[in-house]
Amino acid sequence: MAELILDPNIRGWVFLPIVVITFLVGIIRHYVSILLASQKKVELHQVQDSQVMIRSRLLRENGQYIPKMAFISRRHFFNNEETGYFKTQKRAPVSQNPMTDPNMMTDMLKGNVTNVLPMVLIGGWINWMFSGFVTTKVPFPLTLRFKPMLQRGIELATLDAAWVSSASWYFLNVFGLRSIYTLVLGESNAADTSRLLQDQVSGAAMSMPPDPKAAFKSEWEALEIYEHNWALQGIEADLIGSQRSETSENQYT
């Protein structure tokens, strides 16, 4: 098949407008998401529990650097059967069904309105407005398996798979402008559709906080089986001996 020569007007009336429209829609979607974002409320006991878990973990990791009685007193604060933090704090179990949380359902609805709906509407409008155009060609050869992905709306069996239709060019821009959005809006932006869709598929939007009762029980058991071995035993004698050796070396030099 002979090499195609595109009309220069396609660049100015199809190729560039699709890029500009996709970019501006992403910018608008970013700021609309900021306006619709709800401030997540964090309870005081959640912050307290998280800090206690961090303190307990640090005690297990660095307990060998404090005397045994100091370690026992700290473990007593956490693990005592009557007054220990892990035994006295009673937390309500966390619901494992996110569909019962109205706040999470509202956030999911906002995400669909600001991300999925504009992509579908603008994609349909571009497919209707610029249907049937060949916009560009990738600079490397491709197999025929890429034709359904790169030539949506163009049913030409003899057309080289490296050519890109207008509809496919739009979807390439939707998922390919990540670096431009990061440069303009920063790392954490709401215009990156690929990241948002990946979060929805992976269940990041459906994640629930861990059960505090199970976390307390696990940390209590870890502290109970921890054996204290003071790593600084005899450190005074070692320091004095090293100081004496350095002094004697300096006298003979």
> pLDDT digits over 30-84, tens only?
888 888 877 777 778 888 888 999 999 999 999 999 989 999 999 999 999 889 9
Other CB atoms within 10 Å distance of the CB of residue 147: 21
- Cα separation values, 83 from 89, 182, 213, Å: 9, 50, 16
**And the tokens for 89?**
């704090």
In this predicted model, which residue has the larger pLDDT, 86 or 110? 86
pTM (whole model) above 0.75: no
Q: Percentage helix, strand, coil, to 5, in the chain?
A: 65, 5, 30
> Alpha-carbon distance 136 to 200, whole Å?
32
Is the model's pLDDT at 158 over the cut of 60? Answer: yes
pLDDT at 2: 59
Residues 6+ positions from 175 with CB-CB distance below 8 Å: 193, 194
Average pLDDT over residues 112-133: 86
